[in-house]
Structure 1
Amino acid sequence: MRSYRIGIDVGGTHTDAVMLDEFYQVIAETKAPTTTDVSKGIYHALKEVVMNANVPLEQINYAMLGTTHCTNAIVERKRLNQIAVIRIGAPATLAIKPLMGVPEDLQEILGKYMYIVEGGHEFDGREIARLDEEEIYRIANNVKGKVDSIAITSVFSPVSNAHEQRTAEILHEVLGDELELSLSSEIGNVGLLERENATILNAAVVNVAKETANGFIDALKQENIDAKVFFGQNDGTLMSVEYTVRYPILTIACGPTNSLRGAAFLTNKSDAVVIDVGGTTTDIGVLSNAFPRQSSLAVEIGGVRTNFRMPDILSVGLGGGTIIQVFEDGSFQIGPDSVGYKLSEKALIFGGDTLTATDVIVALGRANIGDACKVNHLSKDLLQAIYEKMVSMVEEALDKMKTSADPIPVVLVGGGSILLPEVLKGASEVIKPANFGVANAIGSAISQVSGQIEKIFMLDELGREKTMERAKQMAFEEAKIAGGDPGDLVIVDIEDVPLAYLPGNATRIRAKAAGSLKKMS
């Protein structure tokens, strides 16, 4: 029996959808405008791609979604959970309160119930103080009925998460198992404040993740599709609905990573720079062994500094809808504002009144879209200068993302990639694959499931070989929880960094397992 899968990716301008068969061949593809209510755009794209594919609905077994819902909720400060924040670290961490440095408007929403209790660990695993369990019980009774999600952060919990686990047990005992808990040891890296911030944001978007998942499942049901649902996460792999609700923060920045994975699949290139040109921005990322290179820097989300894993993506304010301002003295400015999904009504070539990057390439004869007669009056010299500046913006960004001066293969994807030429400085070759316009949706559809752990281990306890094996097993378990097929999982990345400043021959190990989706029963 044949098997099909749907991949959908939500961008700032378009929501792309594809239908693939069991051999990952594209059966149908579509682009729908991203709507203010993101769910409507998803539904329209889903409905259209199902209609265009014209395959038996009962043979559609999987549906994958890369979504911006959680990112938008944080940036727009909307639909966030009522949360409590518990930091385990008194008396050592009383000097700086939770949410320090977070924008005031977000502090007002998320900072209503904040507590610092005694407990936590030193960098070598010794207790700073015993966990004040009585205080945890008191907090649990105090927030009962007032919050629906709690963020728990303990000092050096990546070394020892015992106090976070015990706190979770008490909270579930008092408040019930339905309450959503976010533990920092499962989300961020060692730094306390950034890890705490990431955990708070994770707790804040749980309801958004639930609503998105339920909305997507309902949309599929409306089309009479009974498919297993997965969400894109920001390392270029997938996770189950249950895993998504537990770690919704991992959906942030999944769009660019879907494009990278799609580019790797479409070109069979495992090491390359991928330039994804959309309607609003150009996102540049690096493929390493067919997966996105991870960022080693702290990342800001909605003004909040965090340290959980994120792809290394450089965004440039250039896309198909980028607004070009021309001044009286002949000078011009490219972006950063964009007409976004209103390109088809605002651009000159579509009868609008705004000069966009798309108008520039049409006027120069580099693309055949809309009505070229509407841009014939523009100065070709001026347009050429604008175009050369557009290209140089991308070439400069490409240079920043490379780790050596040597030319490297470049893959162009995204509907806006028509803006760029076939030759770029710093590129050994420029490849624009078939289906380049929906590479992000393809990346969502073909992705594997993964699980990753990053933890500090003491080699003196088990020895190096057994410790590495333990880290791998932990990664396998995470991948299984995320929806991976246990018989198909392999370790795709492992690194260990010795920590000379810690006793016990400590090392930080990051292990990642990936594999196929669990087979449909």
Structure 2
Amino acid sequence: MHHTGQAPLLLGIDTGGTYTDAVLFSETSGLVAKAKALTTRHDLSQGISEAVDAVLARAGADGSRIGLVSMSTTLATNALVEGQGGRAGLVMVGFTEADLKQDGLQAALGGDPVLFLAGGHDVHGNEMPLDLAPLDSWLDAVAPALTGVAVCAYFAVRNPSHEVTVKEAIRTRTGLPVTASHELSARLGGPRRALTTLLNARLIALVDRLIEATTGFLHRRGITAPLMVVRGDGALIAADLARARPIETILSGPAASLVGARHLTGLDDAIVSDIGGTTTDIALLAGGRPRLHPDGATVGGWRTMVEAVAMRTFGLGGDSEVGLEDDILGPRLRLGPRRLVPLSLAETLHPDSVVPELERQLEALHAGRLDGRFAFLTGLPERFAAGLTEVEERLFRRLSKTPLPLDRLFISAAEGATLMRLVSRGLAQVCGFTPSDAAHVMGRQASWDSRAARLGAALFARKRDGRGMPLAASAEEISERVLACLTRRSAEAILETALAEDGLESAVSPEHPLLQRALGGHQGVARLSVSLDRPVVGLGASARLHYAGLKRFFSSECVLPEHLDVANAIGAVAGQVRVTVEAHVTKPAEGLFRVSAGAEIRDFPDEEKALLCAEELAGRLAAGGAAEAGAENAALTVHRVLKTADVDGERIFVEAIVRAVAAGRPRIAGSD
């Protein structure tokens, strides 16, 4: 596929759990080329470079033709889920140690240092004395071991002056990156705002390395276009801002999939289900935009103040572990939530390492408990193995970069738990039979080695149920059951999401006998069925395979758009820059109306003048923020939310929130 026009090309990149996707896109002619490369978890920039090189080669395009690069990344999300990140200090201004007990802040802080300073403001922005005296000695003691610092002051969203003062003092003395809480959220709730700011400070070094590596690679390919990153709400942000506010990129990938679904289908309202190798992410499009979580995104167990898509994630994908429910005479297949490296992929990456061992195991008279399971190193640098216990260290040293069968690797059964600890540290991977292998057995996928897939399926089929009978008569039979199981579990996950959206999550689950009967199509005197109020959009490289049978579970349409395999990468370049700024108007005293917007505080004797000032300030800040985030010719909308009370027939002003939104497409190099 060759591009011969002269319009700038847009490069979209998405790093998923298994694949990194890249697309070249034209605003006039649509998708030009697409390519995939395996995600390199130990160094995401390596997978990105392979995918970008491949898509440029397929398009026959020169790097200088690229006018915009936009990427969605799993790095921030994975780091929070896996407890990774730098060591950050936290400075709390106007708070006490008791505040650490709220919103999980103490647990999130762990062993990182915290300093309490006197100061802060009240709800109207009135100042309390700031005491900086303890700051210098604290920084001298802790700064050498930190990668960033978070600053949160009491009621900083009403007046951020103390955060600004403390931030500048820390930067001047240490040169460390510093995040102030008012830069991330305008919402009240100091401890949760402090938690969000702390997590952001930990992520800065990680995301900075990714962006630096990506920028360096792009420049080496002659690509000098602006680099954007997808935020968790689906909007785009300039890479330099993403470096400073990496917390905003959590759930970046799922958000990009929703933007891609909207672009590919034109649907304003839909349930979007994106199946990958590791997880299935399900969320709603409402009115043409991703529905956001009203309370902020939760990642890694932490409830943040980051605006992000209201996403439900299930441990269900093409690379899900295939297992059996315990203690059931008529065994039921279990999928996930753990991800395994498919046998077919492992053999492709390491030829003649998996197939001979599977053949050996299949020749044995009896099935072994560890049949079809392998382990190998992920490729992380040696320094990441620091702190292993003696038992973990011994197993780690026996592993290699080539898959080793567990029945020969393990010295004792207890080493299974040890291996899982190495996996949780990101040092090792487990390989086994997955739905991706089942698809290769049935000839529905052909990306990797089908011999390994068939042998793994045959080994799994001869496992015994509670009655001592083999699970299936052939590799084909068990593979067909695994694929059917994945489609059924997908339907249950979509239904669970719909029920939660209707507020029924705690009242009923898809496991309820009536819902199971409806999904299964069982007919009786009472005939039950399930339908949805909007179509399901299936995304992901394997969606066409696994979602083709979804319609029989719901009386609803299932849309499988063209290019569904790279929807996230398309969403990365199809999105808009969107910046929202809130100004607040309060009434500290009779005849006094106070406007607070960003770092500005203004007083007026008249309500309407205060509201007009709030609109002007919020609009200016939103427009400036959109330009800084990379937008060109952003459109501005402003609206008021008034809170008043009626006391004995008299209108009483309580508070007003003025919200300004600036939105527009990012600047594209080389466009007219």
Whether TM exceeds 0.5 here: the answer is yes
Structure 2 counterpart SS, 1:434: coil
Q: CA deviation at 1:450?
A: 2.1
Quick one: structure 1 residues 294 and 2, their matched pair in 2 at CA, closer, same or farther if it must change by over 3 Å? same
Offset at 1:355?
4.1
Which one-letter code corresponds to 1:164 in the other structure?
E
How many matched pairs? Answer: 506
Tell me what 2:414 maps to.
none
- 2:628 is aligned to 481
- In the superposition, relative to structure 1, how do residues 7 and 14 fare at CA in structure 2: closer, same or farther (>3 Å)? same
**Cα distance change on mapping 1:496 and 1:364 into 2, 3 Å:** farther
Output one character per residue of 1:128-156: Cα deviation in whole Å (capped at 9) or x when no partner.
x3111333455455555453421100112
Structure 1 counterpart of 2:539, from 388, 392, 413: 413
- AA partner of residue 178 (structure 2): L
Q: Is 2:25 aligned against 1:26?
A: no
Match of 1:430 among 555, 558, 582: 558
Question: Relative to structure 1, is the Cα distance of residues 147 and 382 closer, same or farther in structure 2, using a 3 angstrom cutoff?
Answer: closer
- Hey, what's the Cα distance between the residues in 2 that align with 1:518 and 1:435? 25
Task: Could you tell me which runs of 5 or more consecutive residues in structure 2 were left unpaired when the two chains were aligned.
Answer: 1-5, 348-353, 359-371, 373-431, 458-473, 504-530, 588-592, 595-608, 646-651
CA distance in 1, matches of 2:640, 2:499: 24
Matched, 1:357 2:357: no
Aligned to 1:271: 269
- In the aligned structure 1, how far is the partner of 2:297 from the partner of 2:210? 24
For each residue in 1:416-463, what CA deviation from the matched residue of structure 2 results, as whole angstroms up to 9, or x when unmatched? 313112526566422111100100000012222222234544373444
Worse-superposed segment, 18-27 or 67-76: 67-76
Residues 284-314 of structure 1: CA distance to partner in whole angstroms, max 9, x if unpaired?
1112343211101354433433222221001
- Aligned twin of 2:242: 244
* Contact 1:19 1:26 (C-alpha < 8 Å) held by counterparts: yes
Describe the SS at the equivalent of 1:202.
helix
Output aligned runs, 1:300-449, within 5 Å.
300-326=298-324, 329-339=329-339, 342=342, 344-345=344-345, 353=372, 354-358=432-436, 367=444, 369=446, 376-378=475-477, 386-387=485-486, 389-400=488-499, 402-403=501-502, 407-418=533-544, 419-420=546-547, 421=549, 423=551, 428-449=556-577
Structure 1 equivalent of residue 88 of structure 2: 83
Superposed displacement of residue 96, structure 1: 3.2
User: What's the CA shift string for 1:68-98, capped at 9, x where partnerless?
Assistant: 2223333344451x432100014xx332338
Structure 1 contact 89–120 (Cα < 8 Å) conserved: yes
CA RMSD, 1 decimal: 3.3
- 2:199 maps to which residue? 201
Per the alignment, do residues 416 and 398 of structure 1 end up closer, same or farther by CA in structure 2, a change over 3 Å counting? farther
CA distance in 2, matches of 1:125, 1:426: 53
User: Displacement, 1:227?
Assistant: 2.3
CA distance in structure 1 between the partners assigned to 2:137 and 2:176 by the alignment: 16
Specify the alignment match of 2:666 in structure 1.
Answer: 517
Query: Is the contact between residue 102 and residue 303 of structure 1 (CA under 8 Å) also seen in structure 2?
Result: no
**Structure 1 residues 511 and 363, CA, compared in 2 at 3 Å: closer, same or farther?**
farther
Q: Equivalent pairs: percent with the same residue?
A: 26
TM-score, reference length from structure 2 = 0.68
Segments of structure 1 that go 5 or more residues without pairing to the other structure are: none
Cα deviations by residue, 1:249-279 (Å, 9 ceiling, x for unpaired):
1111100000000111111123322111111
Q: Which residue of 490, 493, 496 corresponds with 2:635?
A: 490
Find the partner of 1:47 among 53, 59, 64: 53
- In the TM superposition, residue 239 of structure 1 has moved relative to its aligned partner by 1.2
Q: Relative to structure 1, is the Cα distance of residues 99 and 225 closer, same or farther in structure 2, using a 3 angstrom cutoff?
A: farther
Q: Specify the SS of the correspondent of 1:35.
A: coil
Checking the alignment, whether the CA contact within 8 Å between 2:583 and 2:614 is kept in structure 1 is no
Does the 8 Å CA contact 2:226/2:667 hold for their aligned counterparts?
no
Q: Tell me which amino acid in the other structure corresponds to 1:256.
A: P
User: Could you tell me how far 1:474 is from its partner in structure 2?
Assistant: 2.1
Q: Which amino acid letter does the alignment assign opposite residue 146 of structure 2?
A: V
Are the counterparts in 1 of residues 536 and 559 from structure 2 also a CA contact under 8 Å? yes
Amino acid at match of 1:94: E
Q: Report the Cα distance in structure 1 between the residues aligned to 2:20 and 2:483, rounded to whole angstroms.
A: 31
309-318 or 296-305: which moved more? 296-305
Cα contact 1:99–1:107 (8 A) shared by 2 = no
Alignment TM-score, normalising by the size of structure 1: 0.86
Alpha carbons 1:279, 1:341 under 8 Å: kept:
no
Matches of 2:564 and 2:159, distance apart in 1: 46
C-alpha separation between the residues in 1 aligned to 2:116 and 2:263?
47
Aligned match of 2:16: 11
The CA distance in 2 between the partners of 1:205 and 1:388, in whole Å, is: 36
Letter in 2 for 1:205: L
Q: Deviations over 1:459-484 (max 9, x none)?
A: 73444454244323322221111111
Q: 2:581–2:618: 8 Å Cα contact kept in structure 1?
A: yes
Structure-1 separation of matches of 2:659 and 2:580? 7
1:94 and 2:104 are equivalent in the alignment: no
Partner of 1:471: 618
SS in 2 for 1:423: helix
Whether 1:234 aligns to 2:240 is no
Secondary structure (helix, strand or coil) at the match of 1:309 reads coil
